[in-house]
Amino acid sequence: MTVDRHYFEEMEAKIPRGKVRTRFAPSPTGYMHVGNLRTALYTWLIARSQGGTFILRIEDTDQGRLVDGAVDVIYRTMAECGLNHDEGPDVGGPVAPYIQSERRDTYGKYAKLLVELGHAYYCFCEKSESEEDSGEFDRAADPCRDLSAAEVEEKLAQGLPYVIRQRIPEGSTTFHDAIFGAITVENSTLDDQVLLKRDGLPTYNFANVIDDHLMGITHVVRGSEYLSSAPKYNLLYEAFGWDVPTYVHCSPVMRDAHNKMSKRHGDPSYEDLKTEGYLTEAVLNYVALLGWSPKGEQAEQEVFSLSELVKAFDMTGISKSPAIFDRAKLDHFNAVYLRSMAPEEFAKVAEPYIRQSVTKECYDAAAIAAVLQARCEKLTDIPEKVDFFDELPAYSVEFFTNKKSKTNSEVSLAMLEAAVPVLEALEQWTTESIHDALIELAQKLEVKNATLMWPVRIAAAGKMVTPGGAVEICQILGKDETIRRLRAGMAMLQA
């Protein structure tokens, strides 16, 4: 059963060489979690920072875990984040196809070549599919490991089902990782993993090695949970006589000091974060710093655009230590990005959230956005912050008492009684005219500005905390509604 070597020579001839080539190879199993997004980002940054090629490959050999629409989620996430790929299923390339299930015949040929080279063997033992995938078995007790060529031929001729297993040699294996350095393991601790399953599909551990080589991948970025598999990958590369790519194993993203982030435990995917009101740019910036730090002149810099990340990125900045996903830190980044947007751009993204609670068209969404922008951390916070515009909420008379502003019920009533006629007398209802009238009134009453503004704002909004001050709120509400609300406040204080 000699394998046709001409096929492999042709495959070698197709491999692009001479520049950095990286790949992001997600499984379409439902959503893009934060760790996946970070892997995609680092992989993209390595390629872009070194003038290389970035490849998108879909690893769908685990057919039982595939989720409808998951590939669309991958494409959409990558596009929204600006992580454009040079080669992939949708754009093609010199080493197509880029979907593993479409490369099925290739894996079978390489598995049989490995048998011929003496680094793999046919196993006819009865195993469950889960055992096939995990490779958990005692190889010393596996009778198939030492079958003669004649015995193998006989069983194949009988049509017996089989898997192909890697033959782990004696001794030890040393591999090098760009982050963790050189690591040596005793081969006795490695199992004869399944390379090709009974259905003819490869296991992940085999397919990714074959594809990475045939696609000319120079740098392989993956989670540190794959460090334990790296010796077996190394042995496969060596068995075929191939160059080993640069391994870049990234430590996990943790929910806390003890637990990895997990969808099962309610930790968010990229799409969840978008739904929760976070900007893509803020998420991407924050994720970049989950386990990587800039160096040199940019060592203290936190805010990076994607193009700035390309210039600053260096693999040596990736940390060995796990990174903890900190919501408060992400909120900070999101607020920075929201506040740095052009006012018209912020108004555009904020309007749908404003209109969730401010349905009356007489209230200008752009004017509301203008007072919101400096006081907003997440877009989803907006509806609750501005719901008082449509309807004055029920509120407590105690809101009028504020020690810092030197107000209580009695002082507040006096302030409102003085403010209403001044505001009624205004011919123009603008931010400037309202501001000037109230400041002048405070001077006339010989009180701090805050002593007057606090009760005006409370009466106008019915909330202790508002996105804008008294002047901005009154201007947006309009003259009639402002006077009506301030009179209602007076009535409450008189009761």
Residue 33 has φ and ψ, to the nearest 5°, of: -80, 170
Q: How far apart are CA 129 and CA 381, in angstroms?
A: 48
Q: What angle do CA 455, 494, 416 make, to 5 degrees?
A: 30
The reply to whether 263 belongs to the active site is yes
Angle at 471 between CA 469 and CA 472, to 5 degrees: 70
In three-state secondary structure terms, 313 is coil
Say if strands 181-186 and 172-177 run parallel, antiparallel, or are unpaired.
antiparallel
* Furthest C-alpha separation in the chain: 108
23, 212 contact by CB (below 8 A): yes
- The H or E element that residue 7 is part of is helix 5-14
Report the C-alpha gap between 165 and 191 in whole angstroms: 9
Tokens, residue 69: 């629409």
| Rg (the chain; Cα; Å) | 32
Q: Which of 14, 263, 311, 444 is catalytic?
A: 263
Say how many C-beta atoms besides its own lie within 10 A of residue 430's C-beta: 11
Tell me the three state secondary structure of residue 384: helix
> CB 95: neighbour CB atoms within 10 A?
20
Active site residues: 263
